[in-house]
Structure 1
Amino acid sequence: MRTVYPLVRYRNPVKGIDWLVQAFGFEVHAIHKDDDGVVGHAELTVGTGMIMTGTGEPGGPGIYVVVDDPDAHHARAVAAGAEVTRELADQSYGSRDYACKDLEGNEWFFGTYGP
Structure 2
Amino acid sequence: MTTQTNGTTTRTPAPTVWPAFQADDAHAMIDFLVDVVGFRRTAVYPEGELVAHAQLDWPEGGGVMLGSRRETSGVAPGIASIYVVTDHVDEVHDRVRDAPGVTITRPPSDTGYGSHEFVMTDPEGNFWSFGTYRGEPS
TM-score of the superposition, structure 1-length normalised? 0.48
TM-score of the superposition, structure 2-length normalised? 0.40
Higher RCO (C-alpha under 8 Å, 6+ residues apart): 1
Structure with greater helix percent? 1
